[in-house]
Amino acid sequence: MKSKKVTFADIAAYTNFSKTTISRYFNNPDSLTLENQQKIADALVALDYKENKVGRILASGKTEFVGIIIPNLYMHYYSEMLSQILSTYETYGYKFLVFAGNAKADIERKYIEELLAYNIEGMIILSPTIPSRELASYNVPVVGIEREDQYISSVNTDNYMGGVQAAGLLKKSGCDILIHVNGNIPETAPASGRIRGFVDTCKEYHLPYELILTHLGDTFEENRAKIRKVAEQIKQKYPNKKKGIFMPNDTHANVLLNLLIQKYGKLPESYQLIGFDDSPISREAVIPTSTVGQQIPVIAREAMKILSAQMEERKKRRPALPGDPVHKIIPPILIRRNTTI
């Protein structure tokens, strides 16, 4: 059982070719006669050869590894993104070494060191923790997704347009007052664009609006407590108005929706609700919830496209200089369900 692994040397001995020829059989078979190709093919079967990529990596320097640093997997947005990135294996053949970073910079740095030690060819970073300037300094192709991206390539949702779409839908729904609830998002985060898009749209159409920017808590229970307060506050402030509320994501939209349903047994007509992300909860909620959908499969695909282009470039004999970071913007898709007209 503990049989030694079969190597090129064994195949070479068996077939009376050199190791070089065996290598060529795999990398450039056309340079062998058909007859000899067959001989080797037979030997592979006879000896039950299994390829060993470690030797190849060492000799060639190409690992076909891509590192991924993702903040967590309990948020659907991230797990879905990871899933879509993994699925690009079929297209590009890169293997993924995945780390879930705990938003602690030191730990994430350690992960990156480890990835680099395995000669990864590139990285995809979803975690916002480490500044793009530092990421760029590692001298490995990097693509960021929905994070600060001044010094690295990136793919982001068009958050501004998302804000515009949300406000637009609430406007159509005939709301008297538009409200956007969100956390304290740093200016550099792409997500901050939603706020600007929302505000600009309200201003453009002279719609009364209010921004409620406050930290909504780190656990579901905190979220609920906080959102309950916010809801109460809104109710007090706009008692006889039709309220259009744009929540920062579908999870939070669902919390608000459930609070209203628990209170009124249905969604009162004076409330219009829209979330963000198109995560499953928006579809599976008591009342399927309108949302601004992020095109996660497209984002993942574009990220790998950019990354693989940069990785391929580096493999050339005379690689072009890195050049400026590429920033790709993916439009969101407005999804109308039953919490808006």
Partner DNA sequence: TTGTAAGCGTTATCAA
Partner DNA sequence: TTGATAACGCTTACAA
Report the interface residues with a copy of itself, using CB under 8 A.
Answer: 1, 50-55, 57-58, 63, 72-74, 76, 79-80, 82-83, 86-87, 89, 95-100, 113-114, 116-119, 139, 220, 251, 254-255, 258, 261-262, 265-266, 280-281, 283-287
Report residue 297 as tokens.
């499969």
Which one, 53 or 104, has the nearer CB to DNA? 53
The number of residues in the chain equals 341
Q: Which of 2, 30, 239, 318 binds DNA (CB under 7 A)?
A: 30
In the chain, which residue ranges form alpha helices assigned H by DSSP? Answer: 8-15, 19-27, 34-47, 53-60, 76-86, 89-92, 105-117, 132-136, 159-172, 192-204, 220-237, 250-264, 280-284, 296-315
* Phi and psi based region of residue 291 (left: phi greater than 0; alpha: psi -120 to 50; beta: remaining): beta
Which one, 9 or 212, has the nearer CB to DNA? 9
55 binds DNA (CB under 7 A): yes
Cα separation, 80 vs 76, in Å, equals 6
Cα separation, 199 vs 90, in Å, equals 42
In the range 5-24, which residues lie near DNA by CB under 7 A? 5, 7-9, 16-21, 23-24
Of the ranges 29-37, 138-146, 164-172, 215-223, which one interacts with DNA (CB under 7 A)? 29-37
194 binds DNA (CB under 7 A): no
Which of DNA, a copy of itself, none sits in contact with 280, Cβ below 5 to 8 A by type?
A: a copy of itself
Of the ranges 3-11, 169-177, 246-254, 278-286, which one interacts with DNA (CB under 7 A)? 3-11
52 binds DNA (CB under 7 A): yes
48 binds DNA (CB under 7 A): no
Cα separation, 335 vs 163, in Å, equals 13
Amino acid (1-letter code) at residue 62: K
Amino acid (1-letter code) at residue 239: P
CB of 39 to a copy of itself, least distance (A): 23
Strand partners, 225: none
Tell me, rounded to whole angstroms, the distance of Cα 226 from its chain centroid: 27
Which one, 31 or 338, has the nearer CB to DNA? 31
Q: If DSSP codes are grouped into helix, strand and coil, which group holds residue 99?
A: strand
Q: List interacting residues with DNA (CB under 7 A).
A: 4-5, 7-9, 16-21, 23-24, 26-27, 30-33, 36, 51-52, 54-56, 58-60
